[in-house]
Structure 1
Amino acid sequence: MHNTLPSLASITSRLHLRQLRLLIALSDHGSLLKAAEQVALTQPGASKALQEIESTLGVQLFTRTNRGLEPTELGHCVIRYARLIQTDLTHLREEMLAIMQGHGGRLAVGTIMGAVPLLTDALTRLLEAHPALSVEIVEDTSARLLRLLDQGRLDLAICRTSISQRPDLYDAFNIHEEELAVVASVQHPLADAPSLQLADLADSRWVVYSANMPMRLTLEREFHDADLRFPLHLMETTSAFTTLSLLQKNPHFVALLSVDVAQFCTRFGMTRILPLRLHTRSEPYQLVTRRGTMLSPVARLFLDDFARTVAPQG
């Protein structure tokens, strides 16, 4: 095997989709015979195809063990991308079929937790006008969503480009000023207090975003400006469901959420918004696309809906 990887041009000219199907089958079954049957090859044909794949990539992808063929570390990497390519081809066919049948297409959109209510409102409007659309929603941090945009896994995202070292790589416009609220269980000892100061919650265990994320930085500034030590014992998560579950199970926990999410949860009696006024202004949400990317008709519909219904801010 080679000590260096072949060029991309060499890989793309020699690699075939059937070979990728074989890799996935080998991963699923661990048996050359069963994998060969799944992709309609003879066992010698499958063995030759595997040798050709490894020669094309210049690395060993599987090792033989008493349990069958097992992927190497590089094998796991290649198999993961083979599955992504197969998924993309499935989506390609589905979208082509939908367009041919006059149904529209498919939209992949990402969102940070605080913007979930904003996104669901927008998607509701879009689906009312185009009910046959297929939609994939990914909820994650801004950093992760921007990486998915870079990889072409998302059409667009509601997040913030300020966390990127290269915000110039994206087209973004402000769509919503974020307001933050401190929330807790309805059983929290201070749930019915008429008003609170941050010092009243300084010893609480906080459920927060990871370090360097905008919402976390906002909370850190609040503690700094109040001349309070930032809590040492934190629960870090990017999941709204995990946050709510922690608050439900632990009446002394508190969390920082967007007002939109906090009001949604409070409306259903899951949490209580504590009467604490925050002084730090948060960054607005942005609707973000990869600069220079040709948007699909469905993504353009979504973008145009925002342009009509959400007044740009900022």
Structure 2
Amino acid sequence: MELRHLRHFVAVAEEGHITRAAERLGLQQPPLSQRIKAIEDELGVQLFRRRPRGVEMTEAGRVFLERARATLAHYDGAFEATRSAARGEQGRLCIGIQPTTLFHPFVPSVIRAFRTAYPQVSLTLDECLRTEQIERLRNLQLDVGFLRSKLDDQKDFLVFPLLNEPLVAALPSNHSLARAGRRTALLSLKDLADEQFIIYARQHGPAFYETTMAACLKAGFTPRLGQEAPRITSALSLVAVGLGVSLVPACMQNMTMNGVVYRRLQGAIQPKAGLLLGLRRGDGSPVVRNFVNLVRKTANTFT
């Protein structure tokens, strides 16, 4: 018995009339009658009682109808799920998040937009620093990752630049440059020439360290380096207790911390923090393709 035979049976059961069922199926009445008879012979039971104006299901027919509908629904569901997966509407997506990227309003915004557009895709967020993220992308533990700098490996990865944001100075709240009278005042990097700089993630996410060093050198001074922090939140904690200053992405101003004041920078030297999306080169996953397309499209219009 084939699936199409079950569909023939269901049509007759629902119409209660072989001729009407044949019209619905686009068949001739005699072959459909023969098919129903063949099903009954195969099962060894009577499914319909023939009446002058149609057919009436037997008790066995009603049981078979229930099972036939369930079988057809199962197969139809399997086919649709397969097609949906091929369109990237179902599946899993693991996204790498560097610690500072989640503070940028673009990242949670675009992830929410993807969840709305593809609600049947299971999302996992994995926070990790740059070197960890690259390794997890390489080992198939991550599908995509939000990055802060380009990757040296152009052979295995694709990286799409999305946005740039300025760096701002994070100062202890009792610092002279952070006093109430200077609350709206802008600083130049030269104003920080005598300060001790807190750096973070130098080994595992060196983008900000390299950007800070380059900007200070361009401003005419070599920064005095203080304690090194493993993550940006740890660096801000060190700033809060007065151990130095730090340059951080502007989005970190969304993180309020007692003892820390943020100041924008002015002048010709405006260090920037990039936001990029990385993935394995040649990844043909429809889910990944849909995510990348949505992220790049959103970045073009994000304000």
TM range (shorter): 0.5 to 0.7
Where does residue 143 of structure 1 map in the other structure?
131
2:193 is aligned with 1:206: no
Change (3 A) 1:215 1:223: same
> Would you say the 8 A contact 1:104–1:132 is kept in 2?
yes
Amino acid at match of 1:231: R
Distance in 1 between the 2:276 and 2:193 partners? 31
Where does residue 287 of structure 2 map in the other structure?
298
Distance in 1 between the 2:159 and 2:278 partners? 4
> Would you say the 8 A contact 1:176–1:285 is kept in 2?
yes
Where does residue 284 of structure 1 map in the other structure?
274
2:146 is aligned with 1:155: no
Distance in 2 between the 1:232 and 1:269 partners? 23
Change (3 A) 1:204 1:154: same
TM-score, normalising length from structure 1? 0.57
2:221 is aligned with 1:228: yes
Percent identical: 21
> Would you say the 8 A contact 1:184–1:252 is kept in 2?
no
Change (3 A) 1:188 1:138: farther
| Structure with the greater alpha carbon radius of gyration | 2
Distance in 2 between the 1:148 and 1:302 partners? 18
2:164 is aligned with 1:177: yes
Where does residue 107 of structure 1 map in the other structure?
93
C-alpha deviation, 1:173, in angstroms: 1.6
What aligned pairs does 1:70-81 form with structure 2 within 5 A after superposition?
none
Distance in 1 between the 2:187 and 2:271 partners? 19
C-alpha deviation, 1:217, in angstroms: 1.2
Q: Secondary structure at the match of 1:223?
A: helix
- Which segments of 5 or more consecutive residues in structure 1 lack a partner in the other structure? 1-95
2:250 is aligned with 1:259: yes
Distance in 1 between the 2:145 and 2:296 partners? 15
Amino acid at match of 1:159: L
C-alpha deviation, 1:156, in angstroms: 0.5
TM-score, normalising length from structure 2? 0.58
> Would you say the 8 A contact 2:174–2:259 is kept in 1?
no
Distance in 1 between the 2:274 and 2:264 partners? 23
Q: Secondary structure at the match of 2:221?
A: coil
> Would you say the 8 A contact 1:189–1:252 is kept in 2?
no
C-alpha deviation, 1:312, in angstroms: 8.9
C-alpha deviation, 1:124, in angstroms: 1.7
Distance in 2 between the 1:207 and 1:158 partners? 24
C-alpha deviation, 1:147, in angstroms: 1.6
> Would you say the 8 A contact 1:161–1:170 is kept in 2?
no
Structure 1 stretches of 4+ with a deviation exceeding 6 A read 99-103
Q: 1:308 aligns with which of 294, 297, 301?
A: 297
Q: 2:155 aligns with which of 168, 181, 190?
A: 168
Change (3 A) 1:283 1:243: closer
Q: Deviations over 1:142-199 (max 9, x none)?
A: 33212211111100011156342x2232122211123211113434332133343334
Number of residue-to-residue matches in the alignment: 210
Amino acid at match of 1:145: Q
Change (3 A) 1:161 1:203: closer
Amino acid at match of 2:100: G
Change (3 A) 1:182 1:161: closer
Q: CA RMSD in A?
A: 3.3
Looking at secondary structure, tell me which structure has more strand per residue: 2
C-alpha deviation, 1:280, in angstroms: 4.6
Distance in 1 between the 2:162 and 2:247 partners? 21
Change (3 A) 1:312 1:170: farther
Where does residue 245 of structure 1 map in the other structure?
237
Change (3 A) 1:312 1:146: farther
